[in-house]
Amino acid sequence: MKTILVAGATGYLGRYVVDELKECGYKVKVLVRNAESLKREGKYFEPAVINRVDDIIEGDITKPETIKGICNDVDYVFTSVGITKQNDGLTYMDVDFQGNLNLLREAEISKVKKFMYIHVLGDHLNVPVLQAKRKFVQELKQSAVNHIIIKPTGYYSDLTEYLEMALKGRVFMIGDGNHKMNPIHGKDLAEFCVQAFENNSAELEVGGPEVYSYKMIASLAIKSANKTDKVVTLPIWMVKLAIRALKIFNKRYYEMTLFFFSVITNDVIAPRYGRIDLETYYKNYLENKEDKLNDEESDGKI
């Protein structure tokens, strides 16, 4: 039985990867900053995975002293670690580059057989978020460890904001909404990743089963929320000005917003994979959200 170390096990994709690895008979070791997070569902109702792991290590890849020897007795490493919305003062270079590099160095010391990194499709875009990721990919390709780089188009979780806007009665859309992408569900992507461990020195692009324009995504969100059609179009020039202003007040949010703007204003399409479409994701999300609200009402929390 092979042992796989999962870094990023409490994130949207990481939880599904842990679950899929266990389904496929692997021994699962996870690196987390807080083990308690494994006991809870994720923000987008990803599964709690505390009962799906064999070994839990609390550590932080940005602090190399906390992960010494973490790859001992590990066959493969999976990492989806990267800055999302953490507010701890760290930069993309601190986490997406140096943090993952710290983990790679441990993998090299322990002679790990394969190292899988979750990158992003569209890495040609010149934005700070991707500069750090590209720099790590260069290090990974130069390493003696057999590398597998996965480049997904985007996650359904990233499109939950459209549904939340629809629930409030108004969906904001940048430009004409004609650019397209085929995002993927975390469960489908996890299945793809686990199967991809069969590859050697590979760089694989992947997207979901359906291609959507952003106009279609907005309409689907409104339909799923059972609201009347209310889409507010934001001119691209106006959004660019707002992003420039954001740079003055909050560099982190500026960089993240610039990344999402760059993605939305380009087509991001990869080979199709998976079975779960966006409408199904929205439906399940709303059902889970309603169940959670009902549980909180029963517990007297709201």
Phi/psi for 138 (5° steps) reads -60, -45
pLDDT of residue 301: 61
pLDDT of residue 87: 57
Average pLDDT over all residues of the chain:
92
Token digits for 261?
């703007």
* Measured CA angle at 49 (ends 47, 54), to 5 deg: 160
Neighbours of 3 (CB within 10 A): 18
On the 0-12 / 13-18 / 19+ scale of CB atoms within 10 A, 191 is buried
Query: Would you mind telling me the total number of residues written for the chain in this entry?
Result: 302
Rounded Cα distance, 277 and 84, in Å:
24
pLDDT of residue 60: 95
Neighbours of 170 (CB within 10 A): 12
Closest by CA to 185, choosing from 260, 78, 272, is: 272
Token digits for 156?
């359904």
Give the helix ranges, DSSP H, for 34-143. 92, 100-109, 128-142
Tens place of pLDDT per residue across the chain (302 aa): 899 999 999 999 999 999 999 999 999 999 999 999 999 999 999 999 999 999 999 999 999 999 999 999 999 999 999 987 655 678 889 999 999 999 999 999 999 999 999 999 976 777 777 899 999 999 999 999 999 999 999 999 999 999 999 999 999 999 999 999 999 999 999 999 999 999 998 999 999 999 999 999 999 999 999 987 789 988 988 888 888 888 777 777 787 788 888 888 889 999 999 999 999 999 999 999 988 888 776 766 65
Token digits for 15?
């939880």
pLDDT of residue 268: 93
pTM: 0.93
Domains defined for the chain, CATH in brackets: 3-155+185-208+269-277 (3.40.50.720)
Rounded Cα distance, 76 and 71, in Å:
9
The contacts of residue 122 (CB under 8 Å, 6+ apart) are 130, 153, 262, 263, 266, 268
Residue 69 backbone zone (phi > 0: left; psi -120 to 50: alpha; other: beta): left
pLDDT of residue 83: 83
Closest by CA to 175, choosing from 230, 217, 232, is: 232
Rounded Cα distance, 252 and 232, in Å:
26
Beta strands 212-213 and 180-181, pairing class: antiparallel
In three-state secondary structure terms, 204 is: strand
pLDDT of residue 21: 98
Rounded Cα distance, 131 and 81, in Å:
15
pLDDT of residue 85: 64
